[in-house]
Every structure is written in structure tokens, then in C-alpha cells.
């Protein structure tokens, strides 16, 4: 048995990592679960990063992922 796990799991992504993750998913077509495994985070972190970048690019068509409730159309 190893003393340390193969990859440390992170609890958050830095803003730069969030942008890289979103580019990998949106532009390069990587699956979110594969990016999450490579970055050492859960898929929810990747999904939130993608939503944040999409909202920053086009707020009219992408709701704010930090909003408490979904916005009415």
C-alpha cells in the first residue's frame, strides 16, 4: 500500500484553472468527467466552471450559476 494517494483531490479550482477547464470542455470537446479526473476535482467543480465561463461570455442566454434561484425567461 502507498503512503500517499496517487493524486491529491482538490476542493476548488483557481480562476485560471476554471478557465482552462472550460476551454477544454467547450472548445476542445473533452468530457467533463475526464477533465475532472485529470484536474483532481469532482465533476461538479468542472460543471460550475463551465457555467461561469458561459455566463461571462453570453449572460443573456446563460443564467448566473451563483444565483440562488433560476431566473425567469
Answer whether residue 63 is part of any domain.
no
pLDDT over 60 (residue 26): yes
Q: What is the mean pLDDT of the chain?
A: 85
pLDDT over 70 (residue 20): yes
- Number of domains forming the structure of the chain: 1
Containing structural domain, residue 26: 15-57
Nearest to 46 by CA among 68, 16, 22: 22
Answer whether residue 6 is part of any domain.
no
pLDDT given at position 72: 57
Answer whether residue 19 is part of any domain.
yes
pLDDT over 80 (residue 9): no
pLDDT over 60 (residue 58): yes
Nearest to 56 by CA among 33, 22, 31: 22
Average pLDDT value for residue range 40-62? 93
Answer whether residue 31 is part of any domain.
yes
Amino acid at each position: 500500500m502507498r503512503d500517499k494517494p496517487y493524486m491529491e483531490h482538490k476542493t476548488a479550482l483557481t480562476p485560471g484553472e476554471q478557465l482552462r477547464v472550460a476551454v477544454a470542455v467547450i472548445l476542445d470537446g473533452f468530457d467533463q468527467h475526464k477533465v475532472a479526473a485529470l484536474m483532481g476535482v469532482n465533476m461538479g467543480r468542472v460543471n460550475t466552471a463551465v457555467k461561469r465561463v458561459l455566463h461571462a461570455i453570453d449572460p443573456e442566454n446563460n443564467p448566473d450559476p451563483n444565483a440562488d434561484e433560476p431566473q425567469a425567461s
